[in-house]
């Protein structure tokens, strides 16, 4: 009897975990990000009147997926003071649309696409993803973060943009 009870407990816990862990389903009707050139991106940054956070991601990038929920929460929390821009690199339109639908269906983030992956290099970063760049109004780079960004760093750098 105790063996049956233990087995039932394990099965029950597994079922609960599986049910609780279901990922968000891709949302219908999400458009792929708009293609943008390096010149257009730099013009966008230079013309900005408020701070901009640029997150560079790709749907095939596992670390990008792991940090995406945090960026969505940050955009929801600070979207009034800071503009959030997503730059999808070296990706397919379908993959990018599914990624946006899964992680940023309603987050105030404007997404662009760079099929060549050259824009991050032109911005002074690298070809690796994820990357997060923090710009002051007018396009001055405040901070460049390589790799997965954590909550403390993201919050601190946004505060630097807002209070600076």
Partner 1 sequence: MEFTLLAAAAIAGASAYTMLWWEARHGNAARCTGNLWEIGVVSAVVGIFIGRIVAMVIDGVNPLAHPMDVILVRSGISTVGASLGALAVFAWLSRREPTAMADGIAAAALAGLAGWHAGCLVRGTCLGTASDLPWAVAQAGSTVTRHPVGVYAAVALGAAAVTLAWWKAYRRAPAGAPASIAVIAAAATRLALEPFQPSISGGPVWFYAAALAVGIAGLVWSVLRR
Residues that bind partner 1 (CB under 8 A): 17-18, 20-24, 62-63, 65-67, 69-70, 73-74, 77, 142-143, 146-156, 159-160, 163-164
Could you tell me where the beta strands, DSSP code E, fall in the chain? 34-35, 52-57, 83-89, 109-114, 131-135, 141-146
When the beta carbons of 39 and 66 are compared against partner 1, the nearer one is 66
Cβ proximity to partner 1, 7 vs 14, nearer residue: 14
Q: Which of 88, 34, 79 is nearest to 56 (CA)?
A: 88
Nearer Cβ to partner 1, position 64 or 113?
64
Contact 84, 108 (CB under 8 A): yes
CB of 139 to partner 1, least distance (A): 16
Nearer to partner 1 by Cβ, of 61 and 113: the residue is 61
85 phi-psi bin (left φ>0, alpha ψ -120 to 50, beta other): beta
Please report how close the Cβ of residue 39 comes to partner 1 at its closest, in angstroms.
26
């Amino acid at each position: 009897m105790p063996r049956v009870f233990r087995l039932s407990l394990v099965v029950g816990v597994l079922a609960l975990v599986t049910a609780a862990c279901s990922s968000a389903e891709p949302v219908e009707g999400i458009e792929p990000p708009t293609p943008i050139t390096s010149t257009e991106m730099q013009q966008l940054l230079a013309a900005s009147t408020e701070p901009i956070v640029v997150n560079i991601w790709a749907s095939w990038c596992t670390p990008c997926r792991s940090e995406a929920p945090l960026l969505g929460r940050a955009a929801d929390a600070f979207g009034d003071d800071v503009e959030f821009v997503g730059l999808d690199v070296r990706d397919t339109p379908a993959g990018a649309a599914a990624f946006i639908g899964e992680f940023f269906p309603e987050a105030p983030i404007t997404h662009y696409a760079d099929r060549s992956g050259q824009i991050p290099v032109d911005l002074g970063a690298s070809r690796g993803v994820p990357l997060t760049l923090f710009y002051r109004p007018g396009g001055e780079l405040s901070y460049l973060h390589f790799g997965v960004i954590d909550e403390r760093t993201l919050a601190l750098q946004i505060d630097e943009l807002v209070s600076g």
